[in-house]
Structures are given as structure tokens and as C-alpha cells.
Structure 1
């Protein structure tokens, strides 16, 4: 499928890390991009921001050499049942392999609501995927209960399969395009997308239907009530703030204040017009919320340990 892409600079490598965002999420995507650039100063991959409209880059961030790309693709998702929370940019990740087929062989898509703690992204981009068109991390709902039924598979009349979170996606571009997966995703989205509970994520899972390689949860540690304390001890590479609670929107102090403090320093320097973040003290150790979270971790620890045993290293690819 031919898609018009306007880029701020040419591609410099055959691999890329790409964020898809609008103007609202752009500062947070650039924060993550800056973290990646700082950890990979001699990187052999591009860092890209993909959007549906041109976004002006702050001059202070030009040294990161981020490639800004505008993709003319909004019309593809007009019949997907969009709303204020699920806009066309939510589905932009679907078109990345086709939009960048002439530039990249491998694409690592990342959500903007993440925090980079470590990991060799060059090694991740080079992982063999056994001819699978995509690799991802299982959704946290199936970490402790791998056989949990996903409601959207039932709604679409599909058999139950392992279900991945779409916040971190490693695309094998030629394999994805050879299987015509964009066309299949658009077909499902137009005919049945309105009934999906988890929208773009379920759409991708329905399109792949088990034809994906499973990555270690270290690459997409979904920060929930039953996993966030384990993250402090296990040190995953990428923290993913799933749900509505984000470092820039945490009125009840449910997250570690570390994330908002680091983000605030970045915003104050590069996006001075951004409203200051509500920097709270964090959750009290003796609060009811903390006690409930501790109990949740205790009850889930055994099953989570069995799940993590499947990944001896962060570069282990599951079957």
C-alpha cells in the first residue's frame, strides 16, 4: 500500500525505533527518545517520531537527530469508531511497515508512556524471529494466568490464543508486508473495530492470531498494582505506564515520584510552556493503598515467578 511520508531528514540506517504520537503526547515521546539517545550514543538505528500532522521540534533537542515523519494515513481509520481517547494516531502503528518499507527492515514501535531503564535496543532489533512478522510481550492479564480468555477474541468469534500488549512491537518489515497484514487489519477494523474493548491492541492480536514471537517482559514491564514493586528488584528495561495513571497525570500519588521528577526536569528545559507536573511525595508505606498492593504482590508472586522462568535473559524469544 502506497503511503505518503514526509520526513525531516533521510533514513541513516536499516533499523529504527519509532514513536507514534500527536501534539499532546509529543513531549513524552521526545523524553523517551532522549533517554534512548543517551543510552545509545553510537547507535546503528534511527529514532523517529511519526505523526499525522507536522510537529515542530524544539531547537534544544536537535542534537538528538530524531527523524520527524508525517504520514498521510488518517483516512484509513475513518470507519474504526474513533473517539476522543482513541484517535486515528492510536492506529498509526499499523501502517509503519508499509510506510517505511523502503527505509527499514526492522522497526521497534514504542508507546510514548514509557520510561527507559536499560537494555540493548540494537540487540533487540537484531533478534531472530523465526520468520514471524512481529514480536511483542504478552499482555499482563496473561502473565500469571496464561490461559485467561480474552473477551475480544470471543467477540470476533476467534479461537483463544496468547494475547500481546501493543505498547512495544518489533516488526520484521518484509515478513509483515509479505503476509498482507495491514490489509487484514484494515478489513477487521472497518467491519468489527467498533465492538473491540481494547481497540488497536485487540485489532492487532486478531490480525496476528498467534503468529507472533514472544519477547521477555523486560521490554514491556506493564506497571500495574501487581507488578510495580517487582520492577524495583528485577530492573526491567522498559517501564510501561498502562492505564490512565501516568507520570504527568497522577493526582493520587500512585506512582513512584522518580518518574515525574525526571520528566519534569526534561520538560522544564525543552518544553518550558508545558504546565508543571504535580510532584507528590509518593504513596505512604502505611497507607491502605500500599497494604493492598503488598498483598496483591504476595498473592501473585509464585505465578509471576513461573512466567519469568521462561525468559533466562532479556533477549530470550519465547516459542
Structure 2
């Protein structure tokens, strides 16, 4: 594939944690990247911000910045204001950075990093599979649910992953022609992919991915947020419309917006910063409703979590 890349600095390691974003999401990707850098000062992996254009990334953060020219390969994918080229750029990352990295951990920009041994995760055995990921939240409590977007495409039922955190084995990804298959599927089904990039990846990798523990992609929903406080979660992922920087109904605890605001005040002072609210405790009845929702789903959530002996467990 004709994928070109320019970088502001050479690779230092054979593994990398990678974010793909545009200028609008740059402060949020940089915040998560900086959290990982602080957690692993002696890391054996690079932290990379990828985009399809040059971004103004503060050099003092010590992050590698790569500009990937995908040659318009995603033009027919139904791009819009919410899903730009940067949304699909992760598909081209293994090809673009193949000379530099053997393993890549891709993360969405709307995450909050709490902990975890990223070096160890980047080295887990994937059994020859091109990627590993966490099941999508819709299958945590109902693992047999047929994902609506796969059903609409006429694809069989099966395990369905959230594409916001993906561990990629570069050689297996390229050897399995994942990019080429994704481009063909995307061009043929652009108007039928309900969740765009996530639908595409699940369709192409159905039955070919390994499952990792949800602590690496704790999808922060109405039915899961209280359980997050009871676990040693590593990556919190804001999958709904409420984000730390866009939470007008105060659905999220203020800690997330406060941490982002402090980071942006230092590194992106000219950007509009989030103002932490009171969160659910400031909305009458919200805390009681959350507690009831979690009580009803506790047993099934425990069963799901019980499938993983530890945070580095990999299920075929």
C-alpha cells in the first residue's frame, strides 16, 4: 500500500503506544499520552501522536509526532464532522510504522489513564492473531448479544470488540492483509456501517482477534462507572456523548475534567478548557438511579470479570 510518513524524531524502541487525532482532539490525546509517560518514565516503548497533517504538539512533552499520508484511501468511507480521516488512520498505522515497530497499542483520544504496565501488555502472546481488544460494553453482561451493526450487515453472531483500545501485532496484521481487506469492505459498505470504524474493524477481524481484560478499556457508561471505582482499572474510556471537555449535563465525576483542565492550562493555554461541575452528586436523584442500575447488573458483571485471571490475561 502507498502510505507515506514523516516524523519529527526517529523511533527509539520496537514497541509504541499510538494515538491518532486531528487538531480538535490534540489536547485530549496529548493529555492521555502524558499520563502514560508519567506512569512509565523508564519505558521500553515510544509514545506517538499520529495525524494526517502537521499538528502543533509541544516539543517539551517528549512525544513522537508522525504525519501519515494515506493517499485518500478513506475518501469513500462516509467521512463526516465526527469521523474524519483521523478516525480511520489507525488502519494505516501498522503499514506506515512497520519499519519502526513490531507491536503497537492504539488508544482513542477520549480516555483517562489511571495505571497499568504498558510494557508488559505490549509483550503478551496473541497466539498469532493480528490484534487484541476488549469486548464492547454491550456484551459485558449479555455476551451472546448479536451486535446490531453486524446483524444489519448479515454477518454471524460472535464476540464483538470496542475499537478504542487495540493491541496490534504488526507482522500478523500485515500478513493477514487487514488494511487491504478493510479498504475493500469499507468501500463496499460505507453507507451500512452503523458505527463506522468499529463496525468495519469487527467485520474484517471477526473470529481473528484475541480478548484482553476490560481494565485496559473500561467503557464508562451508566451501568459501569461505579464498578470502575472498585477495580484497578488502567484506561477509562468515555464512549458516550459525555466527555471530560463536553459534559453539560454533569454526567461525569469532576475529577476527569479537573485533570484535563490543569494539563491544558500548562500545555495548551490558548485553548478553551473544561470547567469541572459537581457531577452526578449535584443532580437530584442521579446517584440513586446509578446505584440501582449497578445493583441490577452486579451479578452479570462479576461473571464477566471472572473470566480474567489477571490484567494480562489473553483469551482466544
TM-score, length of structure 1 as denominator length: 0.97
The alignment status of 1:50 with 2:54, answered yes or no, reads: no
In the other structure, the counterpart of 1:14 is: 14
In the other structure, the counterpart of 1:134 is: 131
Q: CA deviation at 1:32?
A: 0.6
Q: CA deviation at 1:285?
A: 7.0
8 Å Cα contact 1:74/1:88 also seen in 2: no
In the other structure, the counterpart of 2:112 is: 115
Q: Which moved more, 1:124-133 or 1:84-93?
A: 84-93
Match of 2:203 among 200, 206, 217: 206
The alignment status of 1:294 with 2:291, answered yes or no, reads: yes
The structure 1 segments of at least 4 consecutive aligned residues displaced by more than 6 Å after TM superposition are: none
The alignment status of 1:235 with 2:225, answered yes or no, reads: no
The alignment status of 1:91 with 2:69, answered yes or no, reads: no
Question: Could you list the runs of 5+ residues in structure 1 that have no partner in the other structure?
Answer: none
- Looking at structure 1, the residues matched to 293 and 190 of structure 2 have their Cα atoms a distance apart, in angstroms, of 33
Match of 1:69 among 52, 66, 70: 66
In the other structure, the counterpart of 1:218 is: 215
Q: CA deviation at 1:197?
A: 0.9
- Looking at structure 2, the residues matched to 254 and 227 of structure 1 have their Cα atoms a distance apart, in angstroms, of 13
- Looking at structure 1, the residues matched to 273 and 165 of structure 2 have their Cα atoms a distance apart, in angstroms, of 28
In the other structure, the counterpart of 1:38 is: 38
| Aligned CA-pair RMSD | 1.1
In the other structure, the counterpart of 2:173 is: 176
Over residues 266-307 of structure 1, what are the superposed CA-to-partner deviations in whole Å (9 max), with x where a residue is unaligned? 101111111131221222277222222111101100000000
3-state DSSP of counterpart to 1:119: coil
In the other structure, the counterpart of 1:125 is: 122
8 Å Cα contact 1:138/1:165 also seen in 2: yes
Question: Could you list the runs of 5+ residues in structure 2 that have no partner in the other structure?
Answer: none
Q: How many residues align?
A: 316
3-state DSSP of counterpart to 2:171: helix
In the other structure, the counterpart of 1:196 is: 193
3-state DSSP of counterpart to 2:281: coil
In the other structure, the counterpart of 1:280 is: 277
- Looking at structure 1, the residues matched to 115 and 228 of structure 2 have their Cα atoms a distance apart, in angstroms, of 13
